[in-house]
Chains A and B, each alone.
Chain A
Amino acid sequence: MTRWFLFILAILAGIAAGLFYAWKVNPVKIVDTTPETLRIDYKTDYVLMVAESYRSDRDLGLAQERLALLGSLPPGDIVQQAIQFAERNGYIAADLAQMQALTQALQTGSAAVETPTP
């Protein structure tokens, strides 16, 4: 009975040591990823950069192209997610305003595409 107890204890010790090694000492390194896999704070900053660039160049197509790298969601939804994160985390008003301006431009641009002029 004591032998079984010690055997199971040895297995548990091995598991603990293995997890420590695999998660802390030598974790799997994720490389060669795409912007879609970025953490939400990095994604938000990416969106902010797109908004800053858009404010300068007014190139909505380029902004949409850049936002498309963040996933398959519509660009407007991606910007909305970024705005929500920014609001929760105390981004300065000027940054929020730039992202909101981009949202408006995307909505206006989409509407213009959906409603062709007669």
Chain B
Amino acid sequence: MRENRGPWYLLTGLVLGLAISLVYAWVFRPADNANTSPAALEPGSKDRYRALIASAYQADGDLVRAKARLELLKDPDPYQALAGQAQRALADGSSTAEARALGLLSLALGQARSLSATPLAPSPAISPTLPPPAPVTGTLTATLPSQAPPGAFLPAPGTPTPGTQPAPEISPTPAERIGLAVSLTVTPASVALALKATGSSPAGKASPTPGAPFVLSKRELACPQNLSEPLIQVQAYDAAGKPVPGVEVIITWAGGAERFFTGLKSDQGPGYGDFTMASGITYTVQLGESGQPAGDLAAAECAASGPQRQWGSWVLSFKQP
């Protein structure tokens, strides 16, 4: 008598093969561990990588290159990531230079977004020692020679470092180019504003707020609805009345001080910055070391319509004369 087992042995073989291959591929030979991308870095290393990108940007002023590098980190919002890290660096006080570089790059990114839609005239804020970069409009691509491994990252030859680098190529022959293709409109204005925001230009010679020191032009206690904490809200304007990002705001009180920069809260405008007050403390605010101080600022309440306390907000506008 012969036993008829049916085709079950085929299923057994298939499952056995699957099990063997999955163990091999996931345990013994997973993806190459020594060829990772910046996106796979652990958070601390990503922060250091981001700070290095900002530092390099501060050195060469090449926004296209900085943007391409930031994209490697695959942050959901590079602008917010930079601004957040800048705030953290300022808060822990470990490296003001790093915080400044991060803040300035985030500002430049924000400016580039808006300026790519509405180009402005070149800003006069650039130091005469720093010639304005050549205007570049179009798709910038990195050239990968034939021997380069497919998909290898090469730095985008973006805006040239003044006086040292050639003009970037503008996508003439796509057949020879693979990898990076950064579509970004860069105008002299965007670079100029980025430099204006820096306080430390690529050459380290441009000033973030050139000209006369900021003076207080408006001071009022505002009573916005649902303000949970008393605030000092600062707006910085240049002589033409335009908001100025990257201005250092110095807040001092008995036994303490805090510094931050305008423009890190993109939703509030490029010249905006704020600070949460503690009750019972009197603060003094000035923009930059030589700005006019605004003193005697303390947490104040507004007339409340309900049983809860209604905090007020000191709104200070500073302007260059």
Give the B-binding residues of A (Cβ under 8 A). Answer: 3, 6-19, 21-23, 27-35, 37-39, 41-42, 45-46, 48-50, 52-53, 55-57, 66, 69, 88-92, 94-95
Q: How far is the CB of A8 from chain B (nearest CB, A)?
A: 7
Report B-chain residues with C-beta under 8 Å of the C-beta of A9.
13
Residue-wise, chain B 1-44 has the 8 Å CB interface mask toward A (1 for contact) of 00000000111111111111110111000110111111011110
CB <8 Å contact, B21 and A14: yes
How many Å lie between the Cα of A44 and that of B38 in the bound state?
12
With most chain B CB atoms within 10 A of its CB, the pick from A30, A39, A49, A89 is A49
By size class, the interface of chain B is: 35 or more
Report B-chain residues with C-beta under 8 Å of the C-beta of A90.
143-145, 148, 154
Stretch at the interface among B122-130, B159-167, B237-245, B297-305: B159-167
A42-B9 contact in complex given A10-B14, A33-B40, C-beta closer than 8 Å: no
**Choice from A23, A32, A52 contacting B60 with Cβ under 8 Å:** A52
A41-B149 contact in complex given A18-B25, A22-B26, A35-B49, C-beta closer than 8 Å: yes
With most chain A CB atoms within 10 A of its CB, the pick from B13, B43, B144, B161 is B13
Please name 28 pairs of A and B residues whose Cβ atoms are closer than 8 Å in the assembled complex, sorted by A: A10-B11, A10-B14, A11-B16, A14-B18, A14-B19, A14-B20, A19-B24, A21-B22, A22-B22, A29-B31, A38-B36, A38-B38, A39-B152, A41-B153, A42-B37, A42-B38, A49-B69, A52-B59, A53-B55, A53-B58, A56-B58, A56-B59, A56-B202, A66-B52, A90-B144, A90-B145, A91-B154, A92-B165
In the complex, whether B120 has a CB less than 8 A from a CB of chain A is no
Report A-chain residues with C-beta under 8 Å of the C-beta of B31.
27-30
How many Å lie between the Cα of A28 and that of B40 in the bound state?
12
